[in-house]
Amino acid sequence: MRAMRTWDIFCNVVDNYGDIGIAWRLARGLAREHGLAVRLWVNDLRTFQRIWPAISPDADQQVCEGVAVCAWHTPFAPTRPAQVVVEAFGCALPEPYLLAMSEQSPPPVWINLEYLSAEPWVAEHHGLPSPHPRLPLTKYFFFPGYTPGTGGLLAEADVAGRRTAFVHDGMPAFWRELGLDTPQADELRVSLFAYENPALPGLLDVWAADPHPVTCLVPEGRVIPQLAAWLAVPGLRAGDTGRRGALQLHVLPFMNQDWYDRLLWACDLNFVRGEDSCVRAQWAARPLVWQAYPQADNAHWDKVNALLTHYTAGLDRTTADAVNGLWQRWNGMPIAHGMPACWAAWRSRQAAIERHAQAWCGRLGLVGTLIDKLVEFAENKLK
């Protein structure tokens, strides 16, 4: 019987919770679905606790969901490396750990887990080796992506089943827990998780002018000051509400990962940002609008358009234009139509977009999941 494989995942928490959110989902999935001994090294446990409250921010070592969570201190204490080492998003491994890796025989499988992109070059670079300039080690670049030649998307094996059970049986209780009534027949419920965005006031204006009720649910975060300014109030915090025209705003407490998944499953439309929430929204099988992390010289526009190329493939022209227009306007691209026209086009094709969101979720499953592909890649290197 083969001994349990050991994995170390290193995560340097930068901001916005995305890096630790992905690293935590990955660590849990590896332990739960593949029976691996996983250590997750994190430099900021307090931020980690925001997305997973069971984490103790002061513990050097703790076990949570079958994962050994370790505080990543500087200087780094001597530690025997695992058989597989995942460097999340180029976070740079501690030098003492690297030296220990170089002394192992055979050396660990060293994987740099990259950020997700739908751009065409991803498949060409996926899995490429990069020898260390000083040490007898090789790092492999592992790119998540949307085609079979990439690392796939991060998802748990049971995510579809849990979503289906929630939609069938769990939504009324979820709304009650949030202090909301069951949606009216003609009501649109939207979740809004976003970076600061100059397009936000215009979006709120069109929602306020919509002929049907729009309820916007906003987890505490970076857009709260913009919402307060739009409502002309001094500030907003969890539990506060605001109304203008057809639009009712509700500010929600910051949510852990499982609660946020349920919010995505429950809403008719999800505005998401960055990588982790974008992927979760796609697995939610609901319409979404993605805001890429803003980059210098608007380099993020290429990322948005690359994902749109995949996402709208097979859609009729009118529906694809409606999806493209709202995404591009939300990301600040210089397109011909303003927010009122973009929202009207989206509303006119809403039913088709909803059907597409469900079909898209099924298509993603054919590419394979990041967890399974990562394990397969590592096992092939360990042979």
Do 128 and 226 reside in the same domain of the chain?
no
Do 34 and 54 reside in the same domain of the chain?
yes
Do 128 and 182 reside in the same domain of the chain?
no
pLDDT category of residue 177 using cuts at 50, 70 and 90: very high
pLDDT at 252: 97
pLDDT category of residue 26 using cuts at 50, 70 and 90: very high
Do 103 and 236 reside in the same domain of the chain?
no
- What amino acid is encoded at 14 in this protein? V
Peptide bond into 78 cis (omega under 30): no
Domain assignment present for 327? yes
pLDDT category of residue 184 using cuts at 50, 70 and 90: very high
Do 351 and 374 reside in the same domain of the chain?
no
Local structure of 361: helix, strand or coil: helix
Average pLDDT over residues 319-338: 97
Domain at 256, CATH number: 3.40.50.2000
Q: What are phi and psi of 62, to 5 degrees?
A: -160, 155
Q: What are phi and psi of 47, to 5 degrees?
A: -65, -40
Domain assignment present for 350? yes
Average pLDDT over residues 13-42: 92
- Nearest to residue 187, comparing CAs of 170, 209, 211? 211
Q: Is 19 among the catalytic positions?
A: yes
Local structure of 31: helix, strand or coil: helix
Do 170 and 128 reside in the same domain of the chain?
no
- Tell me what percent of the residues of the chain surpass a pLDDT of 90: 93
Catalytic residue among 44, 261, 275, 276: 275
Do 63 and 73 reside in the same domain of the chain?
yes
Domain assignment present for 221? yes
Average pLDDT over residues 354-382: 95
Average pLDDT over residues 330-342: 96
Domain assignment present for 103? yes
Catalytic residue among 19, 44, 114, 276: 19
pTM, rounded to two decimals: 0.94
- For residue 27, CA distances in Å to 110, 139, 228 come to 16, 19, 37
Do 284 and 358 reside in the same domain of the chain?
yes
Do 227 and 134 reside in the same domain of the chain?
no
The DSSP annotation for 309-345 comes to HHHTTT--HHHHHHHHHHHHHHTT---SS-HHHHHHH
Do 221 and 346 reside in the same domain of the chain?
yes
Domain assignment present for 173? yes
pLDDT category of residue 2 using cuts at 50, 70 and 90: low
pLDDT category of residue 1 using cuts at 50, 70 and 90: very low
Domain assignment present for 1? no
Arithmetic mean of pLDDT over the chain: 95
- The tens digit of pLDDT for each residue in 85-121 reads 999 998 999 999 999 999 999 999 999 999 999 999 9
Domain assignment present for 175? yes
Which residues, including other chains, have CB under 8 Å from residue 156's CB and lie 6 or more apart?
A: 25, 28, 29, 32, 33, 162, 371
pLDDT at 349 > cutoff 80? yes
pLDDT at 3: 66
pLDDT at 14: 77
Do 172 and 110 reside in the same domain of the chain?
no
Do 195 and 314 reside in the same domain of the chain?
yes
pLDDT category of residue 255 using cuts at 50, 70 and 90: confident
> Residue 274: which domain range?
159-366
Domains of the chain: total: 2
Average pLDDT over residues 218-245: 96
Look-up: residue for tokens 């006031």? 201
The alpha carbon of residue 161 and the mean position of all alpha carbons in its chain are separated, in whole angstroms, by: 19
pLDDT at 383: 83
Domain assignment present for 186? yes
